[in-house]
Amino acid sequence: MTGFLAVQAITKQWAHTVTVGPISLDIARGEIVALLGPSGSGKTTMLRLLAGFETADSGRIVVDGEDVTAAPPARRRFGMVFQHYALFPHLDVGENVGFGLTGSRERGAAAAKVAEALALVDLAGFERRKVHELSGGQQQRVALARALAPEPRVLLLDEPLSNLDPALRERTRRELRQLIQRVAITTVFVTHEQEEAFDLGDRVAVLNAGRLEQAGVADELYEHPASLFVASFVGRANVFHGAAARALGGRDGQLVVARPERLRFAASGLAGVVRERRYTGPAAFYLVESGDGARFEVMAEPGAARVGDPVHVTASSLLTFPDGAP
């Protein structure tokens, strides 16, 4: 089975050392996929390969049955929202949004399209505004309207929320999700924030060092990470080796990953001392130091322990991986 947008064994080599891929990923029509990874993981390269700003060394990109691997960006009909929006400063809002509307379309029809796109992002009547007069959030919405106006086949977003202040970010995220669902457009976006990826993406593809580590829905990544990297990059994770791992129930040669909320204080188990307590309201995070000097976090009731208390810790569920590292 191949999806609406199929990435097939795509690779791109940078200089001599850095390589992205081979990466394969199938994306269904209307699906929202997040590319999640640390900086340098290749997620932005992946997005630029999709947009056509970079050309792949090998592999194919197929959209709706059409091979676009070698097609220039102008022919792909992919809409892109840039990290810093890349609004044309010498054009006004209307001219920016109308930039992609050329060809046989009549003037009046184009103007109607612009108005429609601006209404979609809640900026109706902003046509004659100057770009630099807009707030960051408005600029982001203009960029979105501009990308959507030519009715692209795929929408690409590069760190769509990174330029907004935190208070605005959560609201914008919600609005963005609703908007994408209303337009029902296949969307790929890049982010380095797990919360953003989970919240906005139907599926999340985790990239690391140019490789696709795992692609799946949020629960799957969190509960069944395919690798130690995914386990520790997605959500909070404590990693235990050797004796500490065995004390929590791991076998020889395994390392154990346990999330803070899956650890609890008990009468027996891994012994340690509470070093710090961080109160977050509904719960508290306790930084525990075990006998071999390892430090890990336990999430528990705010009154479960005090700093300096000797404690024992057990795990309600564990993730285990082969212990390659010493």
Partner 1 sequence: MSRRAAELTALALTLLLAWIVLYPILIVATDAADASALRAFVSRPGEWAALWASIWISLASVALAAAIGIPLAFLFEWFEFPGRKTLGSLVALPVVLPPLVGVIAFLFLYGESGFIARAVQALLGLERAPWRLQGPGAILLVHAYSMYVYFYLFTRAGLARLDVSMLEAAQALGAGRRATLRRVVLPLVRPALVGAAILTFMTALGSFSAPYIFGGGFRVMTTQIVATKLNGDLPLAMVETLALALVAIVGLVLLRRTEGDAILVALGKGTAPRPRPIRRRGIRLAAAAAGWGLAVVLLLPHLTLGLVSLVPYGAWTTEIIPPVLNFENYRRLFSEAERLRPLLNSVWMAAVSTAAAVILALLAGWLIVRRRVAVRRAIEGLLALPWALPGTVFAIALATTFSVNAPARLRLVLVGTAVILPLAYLVRALPLAGRGLLAAYRQMDPALEEAAASLGAGRWRTVTRVTLPQLKPGLAAGASLAFVAALGDIVASIVLYTYETRPIAIEILSSLRLSETGVAAAFGVVLMVVSALVLGVGARR
For binding to partner 1 (CB under 8 A), which residues are involved?
A: 51-53, 72-80, 82-84, 86-90, 99-100, 102, 146-147, 150, 156
171, 203 Cβ separation under 8 angstroms: no
Q: Would you say 53 or 171 has its CB closer to partner 1?
A: 53
188, 27 Cβ separation under 8 angstroms: yes
Q: Would you say 80 or 212 has its CB closer to partner 1?
A: 80
Q: Would you say 77 or 241 has its CB closer to partner 1?
A: 77
Q: Would you say 73 or 269 has its CB closer to partner 1?
A: 73
Query: Could you tell me the smallest distance in angstroms from the CB atom of residue 28 to partner 1?
Result: 22
Query: Could you tell me the smallest distance in angstroms from the CB atom of residue 33 to partner 1?
Result: 18
Query: Could you tell me the smallest distance in angstroms from the CB atom of residue 65 to partner 1?
Result: 20
Distance CA 77, CA 56 (A): 18
Query: Could you tell me the smallest distance in angstroms from the CB atom of residue 101 to partner 1?
Result: 9
Q: 3-class DSSP state for residue 163? A: coil
**Which H or E run contains 76?**
helix 73-76
Distance CA 24, CA 11 (A): 10
Query: Could you tell me the smallest distance in angstroms from the CB atom of residue 204 to partner 1?
Result: 24
Which residues, 6 or more positions from 104, have their beta carbon under 8 angstroms from its beta carbon? none
149, 101 Cβ separation under 8 angstroms: yes
Q: Would you say 44 or 214 has its CB closer to partner 1?
A: 44
DSSP 251: P
Q: Would you say 89 or 308 has its CB closer to partner 1?
A: 89
- CA 278 vs CA 240, 274, 300: distances in Å: 21, 11, 11
Query: Could you tell me the smallest distance in angstroms from the CB atom of residue 21 to partner 1?
Result: 20
Question: Which among 196, 162, 152, 156 has a CA at the least distance from the CA of 54?
Answer: 156
How many helices (H) does the chain have, and how many strands (E)? 10, 18
